């Protein structure tokens, strides 16, 4: 990826913009470098957008969906000179390339399908505008969804003083707005009654200790970072009043795919008798997946695990297995917060109704 440094590294000035469109170029904040430096990768082609997603420069289910939308808008603008048929073929190829960049987050495929539908429905002369307008609509709707999820989530967390989250679900993970689970925590903390936010580091990319801790810090909240392996025992020790996490895909029966390690937190929460909440926009729900067994789990290269720890030379010789997500059965989920409110078990009916009401 081409790398362009366009904003100086000043984390104390706040959280930098995640996705910026300037004319017909998309600038993607390189989250792998945060919070140490604020650097953007430039994307002008579908391959560059897909590479930004696959390589984790941008991550978080809603943010990669939005990145796909804005990336396709950029590709459309740059292809406006083509004949109508060539334009459609080019956009379909671009959509396929970007949708395949990461498999687990439902938002990515959903957004790409929505852009393609808009493209196919528009008359040839307005196709570029239709793609750009749909990408803008995705952004506006996501921003509103995050605001609502943060408020509803904060209401659920009322009276819970010691919270735990996982991975990163703040504005860095949604691309716009306040984020989902982390948005709810930040909103809840406005009451002044939140005493502690436990943040497991989230190996190997450290979305917890680098990104969530940074976002909490920017919001004036002191995080307490712990090793991932410490989280279940901290819960068991009675140090946590509620857990709230995000999701990458929620199946029709309420099973929730999220960052690897989430399942262990849910089991520990259940044993400790504390609520385990999931916060996610409707774009993360996929009723095409009946249950956990149908959710595709991304297997990332084992090298990403061992290089971090051992350095490249060792990493090449050591075999490692890195499933990037796990699935928490719906039975362990106390409630799911979305932009339409709070869903409670039994999830199959609750999810069906909330999605039907949307159509
Ligand atoms: O691999 P990542 O960093 O994309 O994983 C992100 C998560 O698991 C988040 O919890 C999820 O996408 C929700 S983001 C609002």
Do 202 and 228 form a contact (C-beta atoms < 8 A)?
A: yes
Preceding peptide of 204 cis, ω within 30°: yes
Ligand 1 centroid vs 81 CA: distance in angstroms? 37
| Residue 239 token pair | 């140090």
Beta bridge partners of 198: 164, 224
- CA–centroid distance, 162 to ligand 1, in Å, is 22
In degrees and rounded to multiples of 5, residue 330 shows phi and psi of: -55, -30
- Cβ of residue 258 lying under 6 Å from some atom of ligand 1: yes
Q: Which atom of ligand 1 is nearest to the CA of 61?
A: 12
CB 88, CB 119: distance < 8 Å? yes
List the beta bridge partners of residue 276: 243
DSSP 317: T
The H or E element containing residue 145 is: helix 127-156
What's the whole-model pTM score?
A: 0.95
Closest CA to 32 of 236, 248, 204, 226: 204
pLDDT of residue 317: 73
58 lines ligand 1 (CB under 6 A): no
**Alpha-carbon distances, residue 93 vs 58, 244, 267 (angstroms):** 21, 37, 42
Distance, CA of 136 to CA of 191 (rounded, Å): 33
Tokens of 345: 């078990």
- Residue 72: helix, strand or coil by DSSP? helix
User: Of the listed 248, 255, 286, 326, which one is catalytic?
Assistant: 248
Ligand 1 atom with minimal separation from the 207 CA: 3
Residue 61 near ligand 1, beta carbon < 6 Å: yes
- pLDDT tens track of the chain, all 359 residues? 444 444 434 444 489 999 999 999 999 999 999 999 999 999 999 999 999 999 999 999 999 999 999 999 999 999 999 999 999 999 999 999 999 999 999 999 999 999 999 999 999 999 999 999 999 999 999 999 999 999 999 999 999 999 999 999 999 999 998 899 999 999 999 999 999 999 999 999 999 999 999 999 999 999 999 999 999 999 999 999 999 999 999 999 999 999 999 999 999 999 999 999 999 999 999 999 999 999 999 999 988 888 765 666 566 678 889 999 999 999 999 999 999 999 999 999 999 999 999 87
Distance CA(35)–CA(218), nearest Å, equals 11
> Quick check: CB of 328 below 6 Å from ligand 1?
no
Distance 325 CA to ligand 1 centre (A): 9
Predicted pLDDT at 1: 43
By C-alpha distance, which of 357, 224, 225 is closest to 282? 357
φ/ψ of 32, rounded to 5, equals: -65, -25
Strand partners, 322: 300
- Phi then psi for 51, rounded to 5 degrees? -65, -40
d(CA 76, CA 95): 11
For ligand 1, pick from 153, 167, 249 the residue to mutate: most ligand atoms within 8 Å of CB: 167
The finding on whether 174 has its CB within 6 A of some atom of ligand 1 is yes
> Which atom from ligand 1 is nearest to the alpha carbon of 181?
15
Rounded CA-CA distance 284/281 in Å is: 6
- The CA distance from 109 to 276, in Å, is 27
248: annotated active-site residue? yes
Please name the residues in contact with 328: beta carbons below 8 A apart, sequence gap of 6 or more: 255, 256, 258, 262, 263, 266, 276, 278
Q: How many Cβ atoms from other residues are within 10 Å of residue 191's Cβ?
A: 12
The best mutation among 106, 145, 153, 248 to test binding of ligand 1, ranked by most ligand atoms within 8 Å of the C-beta, falls on 248
In this prediction, residue 8 carries a pLDDT of: 38
Q: How far is the CA of 80 from the centre of ligand 1 (A)?
A: 33
Residue 91 burial (C-beta neighbours within 10 Å; 0-12, 13-18, 19+): buried
Do residues 104 and 249 lie in contact, with contact meaning Cβ atoms separated by under 8 Å?
yes
């Amino acid at each position: 990826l081409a790398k362009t440094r366009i904003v100086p590294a000043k984390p104390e000035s706040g959280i930098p913009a995640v996705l910026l469109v300037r004319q017909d170029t998309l600038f993607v904040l390189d989250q792998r470098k945060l919070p140490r430096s604020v650097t953007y990768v430039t994307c002008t082609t579908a391959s560059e957008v897909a590479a930004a997603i696959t390589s984790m420069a941008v991550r978080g289910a809603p943010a990669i969906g939005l990145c796909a939308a804005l990336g396709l808008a950029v590709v459309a603008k740059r292809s406006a000179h083509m004949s109508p048929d060539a334009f459609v073929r080019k956009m379909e190829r671009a959509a396929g390339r970007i949708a395949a960049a990461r498999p687990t987050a439902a938002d990515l495929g959903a957004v790409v399908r929505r852009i393609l539908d808009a493209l196919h429905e528009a008359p040839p002369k307005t196709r570029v505008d239709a793609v750009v307008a749909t990408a803008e609509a995705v952004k506006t709707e996501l921003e509103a969804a995050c605001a609502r999820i943060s408020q509803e989530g904060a209401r659920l967390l009322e009276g819970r003083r010691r919270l735990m989250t996982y991975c990163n679900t703040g504005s860095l993970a949604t691309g716009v707005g306040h984020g989902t689970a982390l948005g709810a925590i930040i909103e809840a903390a406005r009451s002044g009654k939140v005493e502690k936010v436990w943040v497991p580091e989230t190996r190997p990319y450290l979305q917890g200790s680098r990104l969530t801790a940074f976002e909490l810090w920017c919001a004036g909240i002191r995080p307490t970072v712990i090793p991932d392996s410490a989280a279940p025992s901290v819960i068991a020790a009675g140090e946590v009043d509620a857990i709230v996490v995000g999701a990458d895909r929620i199946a029709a029966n309420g099973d929730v795919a999220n960052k690897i390690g989430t399942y262990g937190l849910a089991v520990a929460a259940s044993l400790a008798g504390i609520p385990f909440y999931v916060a996610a926009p409707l774009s993360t729900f996929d009723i095409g997946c009946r249950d956990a067994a149908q959710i595709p789990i991304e297997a990332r290269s084992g090298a990403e695990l061992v290089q971090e720890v051992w350095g490249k030379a060792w990493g090449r010789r050591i075999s490692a297995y890195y499933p990037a997500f796990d699935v928490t059965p719906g039975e362990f989920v106390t409630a799911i917060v979305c932009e339409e409110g709070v869903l409670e078990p039994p999830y199959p009916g609750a999810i069906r109704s909330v999605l039907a009401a949307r159509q």
